[in-house]
């Protein structure tokens, strides 16, 4: 009896013939609540549409690039180095292992094939991809490292002026301390004219990973004893890239070779 009564109560709640109410409300009440929510959500939708239109009206055109890039470029871009490393040490320095020299050389092949300039023997010497010797340089303890600046819209490196002469924007590498110098016979930078400034700046539509100007550094190693390491510091020489120990990635790349 109780179950039948509950069923009847539910039926009556859903539709009450006597009061003409549906789910406890008559037609007038339903119109009022539906009208309220239609107006309420229409106002919300209108508000958000106005906000989006206001935002879009301040977006620059794609060909004009982003605004306020000086906030990114006020100290200079980061420096990308190849080949990619396997791991980082406790001091956050990239580590390359002597047991994987062949693998590092092979991993550079797609990068070398994608960059047409790197096939120029005259500019890149033994680090040129067209010689097919890059892998050999790694296995013979004369590895080539490749550097390019991260993209910042509109940024163009400026040449340093020393003793009244302009110097090319290039890479400079050195042992981190004197004790590592004993393991290095020579470092050679390619090309000797530095980064090709005509390829700057990066703009929308440029595939920077392929079109970025590249500098290479070949490090000729006087092979150290087992369990030794060589720490290398590299940085970009440019008037508008401000190097800092507290922000080490700006224009710099530090790594170590582990034997």
The whole-number pLDDT of residue 105 equals: 84
Q: 184-198, pLDDT tens digit by residue?
A: 999 999 999 999 999
Q: In whole angstroms, what separates CA 46 from the centre of its chain?
A: 37
The whole-number pLDDT of residue 62 equals: 65
Q: Which SS3 state, helix, strand or coil, does residue 239 take?
A: coil
Q: 107-154, pLDDT tens digit by residue?
A: 888 888 888 888 888 899 888 876 556 667 787 888 999 999 998 888
The whole-number pLDDT of residue 13 equals: 67
Q: 198-220, pLDDT tens digit by residue?
A: 999 888 888 898 899 999 999 99
Q: Which SS3 state, helix, strand or coil, does residue 96 take?
A: strand
| Long-range CB contacts (within 8 A, 24+) of 248-253 | 249/78, 249/79, 250/75, 250/76, 250/77, 250/78, 250/79, 251/76, 251/77, 251/78, 251/79, 251/149, 252/79, 253/79, 253/80, 253/81, 253/94, 253/147
> Would you say how long the chain is, in residues?
259
Segment among 9-18, 120-129, 165-174, 200-209 with least mean pLDDT: 9-18
Say what the pTM is: 0.74
Q: 88-112, pLDDT tens digit by residue?
A: 877 778 899 888 888 888 888 888 8
d(CA 255, CA 79): 12
User: Is 158 in contact with 76 (CB distance < 8 Å)?
Assistant: no
Q: Transcribe 102-148 into DSSP letters.
A: HHHHHHTHHHHHH-GGGG-HHHHGGG-GGGT-HHHHHHTT--EEEEE
Work out the average pLDDT over 145-169. 90
CA distances from 178 to 184, 186, 236, 243 (A): 11, 14, 21, 21
Higher per-residue confidence, 148 vs 227:
148
Q: 34-79, pLDDT tens digit by residue?
A: 899 999 999 999 999 999 999 888 776 766 666 655 555 567 788 9
Q: What percent of the chain has pLDDT over 90?
A: 32
Pairing of the two strands 184-190 and 215-221: antiparallel
Is 9 a residue whose pLDDT tops 70? no
The whole-number pLDDT of residue 133 equals: 61
The whole-number pLDDT of residue 58 equals: 77
Is 171 a residue whose pLDDT tops 80? yes
d(CA 116, CA 223): 32
């Amino acid at each position: 009896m109780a179950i039948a009564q509950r069923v009847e109560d539910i039926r009556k709640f859903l539709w009450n013939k006597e009061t003409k109410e549906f789910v406890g409300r008559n037609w007038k009440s339903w119109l009022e609540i539906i009208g309220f929510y239609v107006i309420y959500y229409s106002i919300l939708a209108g508000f958000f549409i106005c906000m989006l239109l206001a935002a879009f009206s301040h977006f620059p055109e794609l060909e004009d690039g982003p605004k306020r890039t000086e906030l990114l470029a006020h100290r200079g871009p980061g420096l990308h180095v190849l080949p990619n490393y396997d791991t980082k040490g406790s001091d956050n320095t990239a580590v390359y292992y002597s047991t994987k020299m062949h693998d590092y050389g092979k991993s550079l092949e797609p990068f070398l094939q994608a960059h047409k300039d790197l096939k120029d023997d005259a500019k890149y010497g033994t680090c040129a991809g067209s010689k097919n010797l890059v892998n050999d340089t790694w296995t013979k303890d004369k590895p080539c490292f490749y550097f390019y600046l991260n993209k910042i819209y509109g940024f163009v490196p400026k040449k340093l002026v020393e003793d009244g002469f302009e110097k090319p924007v290039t890479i400079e590498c050195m042992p981190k301390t004197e004790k590592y110098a004993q393991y290095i016979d020579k470092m050679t930078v390619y090309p000797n004219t530095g980064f090709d400034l005509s390829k700057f700046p990066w703009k929308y539509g440029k595939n920077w990973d392929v079109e970025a100007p590249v500098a290479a550094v070949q490090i000729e190693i006087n092979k150290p004893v087992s369990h030794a390491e060589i720490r290398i510091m590299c940085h970009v020489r440019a008037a508008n890239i401000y190097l800092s120990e507290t922000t080490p990635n700006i224009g710099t790349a530090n790594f170590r070779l582990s034997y």
